[in-house]
Amino acid sequence: MVSAYLRRGLAAGLLAGVLAGLFAFVLGEPALDRAIALEEASDGTHHEEVFSRSTQKVGLFFATGLFGVTVGGVFGIVYAFFRERLVANSELGRSISLAGTVFVGVFLIPFLKYPANPPSVGAPSTIRERTAAYFALVVLSLLTMLVAWLAARALKARGYDAPRRRLIVGAGLLVGVAVLFLSLPAGPSAEGFPSGVLWAFRFSSMGTQIIFWAGLGLMFGWLCERARRKGTA
């Protein structure tokens, strides 16, 4: 049974990754090109890349496809474990709710603390510390989402109605996220960087992730619904 969900996750992840790559290519790459041009103009030098920008743009689809397959496979396994514990009544609903929850924990919460920045923002000497802080927040935000889900289940078992559960869990989640934000170091300052290019880069990053997780949730759910109708779920 787990292998079936794994295969669906791999397929859905690949398709979602390609869609996300297309979005990033159309909207994200122009913003990145402008950011690179600004960086080179500011220091008066041209940086030779190991791979040309045209090669990098083609490789974008390989990268997002590989990311999609990897994440999709993990998503399928996680779905197999949580399937009977999700409140939605359909495979599609369960898939979308799980994808949305993971999106919030893996991307949205970390993004609010450490929004995506072009390569020229932040001192190169601090990149290791910034990367460590970002991934620490990803792990901790996922744990926070898991604790919130467990708390909601415990409150339901004790007879709390849905509105009270949402209020208590929502308040607890906000407090937990606030503690994480205050405990971790601040992100690099983007002062002096053109705001139009900066926010175009950030919006393209946000859009790419939304396309990926929405696509993964929808396509994985559709594959599960299709298998259920055929009696192979």
The verdict on 49 and 162 lying in the same domain is no
pLDDT at 144 over 90: yes
Smallest CA-to-CA distance from 219 within 41, 38, 96, 122 is with 96
Q: What is the predicted pLDDT for the residue at 39? A: 61
Domain limits at 1?
Answer: 1-119+193-233
Confidence of residue 62 (pLDDT cuts 50, 70, 90): confident
The structural domain count of the chain equals: 2
pLDDT at 193 over 70: yes
The verdict on 66 and 152 lying in the same domain is no
The verdict on 99 and 176 lying in the same domain is no
Q: Report DSSP letters for 55-85, one per residue.
A: HHHHHHHHHHHHHHHHHHHHHHHHHHHHGGG
pLDDT at 40 over 70: no
Instruction: Give the mean pLDDT of the chain.
Output: 87
Confidence of residue 145 (pLDDT cuts 50, 70, 90): very high
pLDDT in tens, 65-122: 999 999 999 999 999 998 888 877 889 999 999 999 999 999 999 999 999 887 777 6
The verdict on 230 and 199 lying in the same domain is yes
Q: What is the pTM of this model?
A: 0.85
Task: Please measure the distance between the N-terminal and C-terminal CA atoms of the chain and give it in whole angstroms.
Answer: 8
Angstrom distance (rounded) from CA 228 to CA 226:
5
In the block, residue with structure tokens 């996680």: 78
Q: What sign results for the dihedral spanned by CA atoms 165, 166, 171, 177?
A: positive
Q: What is the predicted pLDDT for the residue at 12? A: 96
Q: What is the 3-state secondary structure (H, E, C) of 82-126?
A: HHHHCCCCCHHHHHHHHHHHHHHHHHHHHHHHCCCCCCCCCCHHH
The verdict on 24 and 86 lying in the same domain is yes
Which tokens go with 160? 């709390």
More confident position, 55 or 170: 170
The verdict on 35 and 145 lying in the same domain is no
